[in-house]
Amino acid sequence: MTRRRHRRIFWVFVVVLAALHVDFFNHGTSPPLLFGWLPADLAYHMAWVIAAAALVLYFTRYVWRDYDGS
Amino acid sequence: MGPEATILIVVVVYFVVVLGIGAAAFRRSKPTAEDYFLGGRLAKSLVMFMALFGTNITPFLIMGISGLAYHHGYGVFGYTAAMAALIIPVAYYVIGYPAWIASRKLKAVTPAELLARRLDSPNLGRLLFLVYFIYMLPYLSTGVAGVGLAVDVFTQQAISFEIAAAGILVITLLYTTTGGMRATMWTNVFQGLVFGLFLYVSIFVVAADFGGISGVMTEVAQRFPELAATKDTPPFTTGNWFVWGMAMGLVVLAFPHLLVRVFAAKDVKSLKNSIRYYPAIMIGLMLVATLYGVWGRIEFPDFVGRDSDMVFPMVIRSHFGPMVQGLALAGILAAVMSTLDAQMLTLSSMLTRDVWYGLSQRRQVVLGRLFLVILGGIAYYIVILRPASIFALAQLSFSGFVTLTPIWLLGLHWRRFTAPAAITAIVAGNAVLVAMFYEWLPNPGLIPVAWSFMAASIVGVGVSFFTAPPPESVTDPVMTPIRRAMGDG
């Protein structure tokens, strides 16, 4: 896959994750406790961060070139 | 020996180690401005990572976020931290990477110098220094105030808030004015390790005391159910949630002291490696800070307003002996010093290179050191006033820095961007920000930084079309390599 295509994929996921960050569907409710103790809203954002960290690894591997601009 | 004496001994030992590292760095430094301010541009991956990590961990993170979480619950993690995991790396790519290339091409040492040369306008550099100076002061004061509060709590008023605040400023000035950037980066490796490890380990110990993580979270849910639910009310309204999340990500490279760390990178690989694991580790610490704030509510349910800034040291004091309390205090001192030093050094370098320039290299360093002392005095005065909570002061400061982001994006990616456009965008953005903060303008929703960011962007683009662009001889040497590096050319 070309770097240009990797770059497009990366930016699509950036937009998707940014949209998913705004979890208005959790707002105004009393979210259930997962496993009886973990607030679902907190779990949602922890999962979001893990997805973001994975995207960052992908981005540094396939999108960002090792080029010093010379 | 009393507990306060043990705490003080641990802290003194810690200071001796930090000053020793600073002295070692000083012995290896050369008497040039580039070495003093950028460590000779030789920062490799680990040092870069720890420098960024240490510089970005502040009392805002541990005491400000925990203080906010104390009142508003687990939602503070999503509100203040989560988005940064993605936006910080993106900002490194779209701002940090091209800025690093430009700093080499233009031989720029400071952020203000870089934009002033890129747009061929010394006045732009002077204006940037002024704006950075204004917004840095409240941020500096959050760090020093955090230390004052922590020392006050841990020593049970044996050392007062005022003396602790003065002490941290003097020690930071001592090693920063002697060692320069090399010293701050070396000490950051040590300080970042101390602080990060302490936070990650301590939260598990606190949880164990409460009967395990599930035990403490169940108790919070039963006693304070409102802390487990994110509501569509301030500060968590949907629009603010998105805007503040973006701002928390963008602000990192809007800080001049962070951007200058990027300039110090040895190569692209160091830059990339430093950002690869940074979000996960950094955001993990923000989660820990949130948990400290929410869980602290169980033991200390009566804090009102900015008093919740004390929840982290109070929890530590109730769960650990004096030795660990000393380490915790050292951790907070580490966080503050590793940020203070970078903030002070960066501002002083901008003064000598962007405002009062034309001096010999040796005089630049001398003037920079003199400025640091004056800056420390002003910061101390603000700290003693203590006008607001740590989070509120940081929010004002961060909003000011983020308002500059459009200037960086346009300056590093758009050849047509002009110096008059940059200057008017800075003025317009900050005018809107101040008017919103003081409620001189009606706010149609969203926090002020959203409007100041938009104002700066619109003015920056609009004025560029009505003013003459910089000559190609100025833009080409910078913009062509940036386009090539970004894969656009």
Interface test with B, best of A4, A6, A21, A25 (most B CBs within 10 A): A21
Which residues on B lie below 8 Å from A6 (Cβ)? none
pLDDT at B222: 87
Is residue B175 predicted with pLDDT exceeding 80?
A: no
The separation between the first and the last C-alpha atoms of chain A, rounded to the nearest angstrom, is: 25
pLDDT at B414: 92
pLDDT at B153: 82
Better-scored residue on pLDDT, B402 or B284: B402
When CB atoms are compared, the residue of A27, A55, A59 closest to B231 is A27
Tokens 């100076």 sit on residue: B133
Instruction: Quick: pLDDT tens for B200-245.
Output: 888 999 999 888 888 899 998 888 888 887 666 667 777 788 888 8
Residue B250, SS3?
A: helix
- In terms of average pLDDT, the best of B29-43, B44-58, B301-315 is B301-315
Which residues on A lie below 8 Å from B89 (Cβ)? 56, 59-60
What domains does chain B contain, in order, with CATH numbers? 3-382 (1.20.1730.10)
- What's the rounded mean pLDDT across residues A52-67? 87
Is residue B43 predicted with pLDDT exceeding 80?
A: no
Dihedral sign for Cα atoms in the order B393, B394, B395, B400: positive
Dihedral sign for Cα atoms in the order B354, B355, B360, B364: negative
CA dist., res. B218 & res. B211, Å (int)? 10
Instruction: Quick: pLDDT tens for B441-466.
Output: 877 777 888 899 999 999 999 999 99
Contact B218 A36 (CB under 8 A): yes
CA dist., res. B153 & res. B407, Å (int)? 42
pLDDT at B348: 81
Better-scored residue on pLDDT, A13 or B484: A13
Which residues on A lie below 8 Å from B82 (Cβ)? 21, 45, 48-49, 52
Residue B103, SS3?
A: helix
Instruction: Quick: pLDDT tens for B368-412.
Output: 778 888 888 888 888 887 766 777 788 888 899 999 999 999 999
Is residue A27 predicted with pLDDT exceeding 70?
A: no
Is residue B31 predicted with pLDDT exceeding 70?
A: no
Instruction: Quick: pLDDT tens for B134-169.
Output: 888 888 888 888 888 888 888 877 788 888 888 888
pLDDT at B29: 61
Better-scored residue on pLDDT, B173 or A53: A53
Helix segments in B210-307, DSSP class H: 213-223, 238-254, 256-263, 268-276, 278-299
- B34-61 CB burial, b ≥16 within 10 A, e <16: bbbbbbbbebebebbbbbbbbbbbbbbb
Is residue B33 predicted with pLDDT exceeding 70?
A: no
| Number of A–B residue contacts, CB under 8 Å | 133
pLDDT at B197: 83
When CB atoms are compared, the residue of B89, B232, B487 closest to A56 is B89
> ipTM of this model?
0.92
Portion 14-53 of A in contact with B at CB < 8 A: 14, 17-18, 21-24, 26-31, 33, 35-39, 41-42, 44-46, 48-50, 52-53
Contact B280 A53 (CB under 8 A): yes
Nearest CA to B266 out of B44, B485, B25 is that of: B44
Is residue B42 predicted with pLDDT exceeding 60?
A: no
CA nearest to A58 within chain B: B276
Is residue B359 predicted with pLDDT exceeding 90?
A: no
Is residue B488 predicted with pLDDT exceeding 60?
A: no
Mean pLDDT of chain B: 83
When CB atoms are compared, the residue of B85, B231, B268 closest to A67 is B268
Query: What share of chain B in percent tops pLDDT 70?
Result: 90
Is residue B41 predicted with pLDDT exceeding 60?
A: no
Is residue B304 predicted with pLDDT exceeding 80?
A: yes
Instruction: Quote the pTM value.
Output: 0.85
CA dist., res. B297 & res. B197, Å (int)? 24
- Token pair, residue A13, equals 């996921």
- Residue A1 touches partner B, C-beta closer than 8 Å: no
pLDDT at B288: 92
Residue B438 backbone dihedrals phi, psi, to 5 degrees: -90, 5
Do the strands A38-39 and A33-34 form a parallel or antiparallel pair, or are they unpaired? antiparallel
Query: What share of chain B in percent tops pLDDT 90?
Result: 19
Instruction: Quick: pLDDT tens for B178-189.
Output: 656 666 667 777
Is residue B103 predicted with pLDDT exceeding 80?
A: yes
Interface test with A, best of B230, B246, B263 (most A CBs within 10 A): B230
Contact A37 B218 (CB under 8 A): yes
Better-scored residue on pLDDT, B475 or B18: B475
Instruction: Quick: pLDDT tens for B406-430.
Output: 999 999 999 999 999 999 999 999 9
When CB atoms are compared, the residue of A21, A30, A67 closest to B245 is A21
Mean pLDDT of chain A: 84
Residue B121, SS3?
A: coil
Better-scored residue on pLDDT, B56 or B441: B441
Is residue B101 predicted with pLDDT exceeding 70?
A: yes
